[in-house]
Amino acid sequence: MLAWLAADGTPGSGGGLFLIAPLGATAFLLFALPNSPLAQPWSAVVGNTVSGVVAVTVLLLGGSGPIAAGVAVAGAMVAMSLLRAMHPPGGAIALATMLAGDPVVELAYSFVLAPILLDTLLLVVAAMLFHRATGRNYPLGHYPEPGRHGTTDPDPLLRLGLEPEELQQLVQRFRQSTNIGLEDLAELLAAAEETLATKKVGNLTCADVMSRDLVTVSLGTPLTQVAALFREHHFKTLPVVDENARIAGIISQNDFIQRAIAAPQTRAATLLGRASRATMRWRGRAADIMTTPVISVKDTTPVGALIPLLADHGVQAVPINADERLVGVVTRSDLLAVLAEHIARNDPAFSD
């Protein structure tokens, strides 16, 4: 990162390009490690800025040489710690400022504003744009963030029963507050719970618990027939298969609801409360409203692997394949029944 540094305050004095090498480390953290607490905007901007302030202050007090440089770096570390803005390049900025010497003394605290603060802000903005363009989340929000459904509830696998303060106490207890954020810790704990749940259900596979007597429809099945199957069997989902019995899509009750909202209905039908009957006279096929692609697994997949899929991936049922053919389905109800039975069988609290 290059910044213009005038030799003095007069227009004709000349000048040069000043290389702020530590900002290269800041760029690495912001672009390569965006989840790190050390790379968040507060840490980067405040950490670099306060480090510059400390170093400039030492220079203005007449400090020079190795001892003064050590004092500047130590002071920067203390300031960053007090402000909870730990940013490793800040220590390097303090050292680089001390090594620059007289040119920085002439600029005094304006050197902190530009280039240190200005360049750090530009890097943070660039990192935000870059990560947004590449689909990454930066900066990280405060835990807990709203769930994927737009509500204030976190995702099911992140509902650990731990408050943000308790998570913060954990990272502080193990002195990891500068190494891991609360969001990452929550995800790690959720993954651990998923692994534990997988172990608790033993060696059960999808083949052991799936429904085998399937009711399916083809790509060309009329929507009227699909609706009749929903009414007859009280299903929440229906698999759609191709001519080779391979899963091609899945139709949920919500698909019909969305179709009903979008479909034109006559005023008379609406007034008479017959809108649902009107929707049954739609022209269309199963392929027109099915959801694709479909999340499916093999019949040899452990049951525990279905927990994150059925917890909150927007699906009510997971198709089960064998030799690329649909052989079964595991619904949320199936999974709950299996987990409940296994817990009751193995937990002494449920044996009475």
67-117 per-position pLDDT tens digit: 999 999 999 999 999 998 999 999 999 999 999 989 899 999 999 998 899
More confident residue, 248 or 191: 248
Check residue 152 and give its pLDDT: 53
CA 136 to CA 134: how far, in whole Å? 6
Structure tokens at 199: 């172990």
User: Is residue 329 over pLDDT 70?
Assistant: yes
In this prediction the pTM is 0.52
Check residue 2 and give its pLDDT: 42
Angle between helices 22-32 and 118-133 (to 10 degrees): 20
Check residue 40 and give its pLDDT: 92
Which residue, among 34, 35, 25, has the nearest Cα to 1 in the 3D structure?
25
Please state, in angstroms and as integers, the Cα–Cα distance from residue 65 to each residue in 68, 88, 116, 279, 331, following that order: 6, 22, 22, 83, 71
> What letter does residue 260 receive in the DSSP assignment?
H
CA 34 to CA 23: how far, in whole Å? 15
User: Considering Cα of 313, then 314, then 320, then 324, what sign does the dihedral take?
Assistant: negative
Q: Alpha carbon 28 to chain centroid distance?
A: 20
Where along the chain do the CATH 3.10.580.10 domains lie?
Answer: 206-252+284-350
> What letter does residue 140 receive in the DSSP assignment?
P
CA 285 to CA 239: how far, in whole Å? 13
Structure tokens at 332: 């949320």
CA 232 to CA 81: how far, in whole Å? 65
Residue pLDDT, tens place only, 281-304: 456 888 888 888 888 999 998 887
User: Is residue 217 over pLDDT 50?
Assistant: yes
Check residue 9 and give its pLDDT: 38
Identify the CATH number of the domain defined by range 206-252+284-350: 3.10.580.10
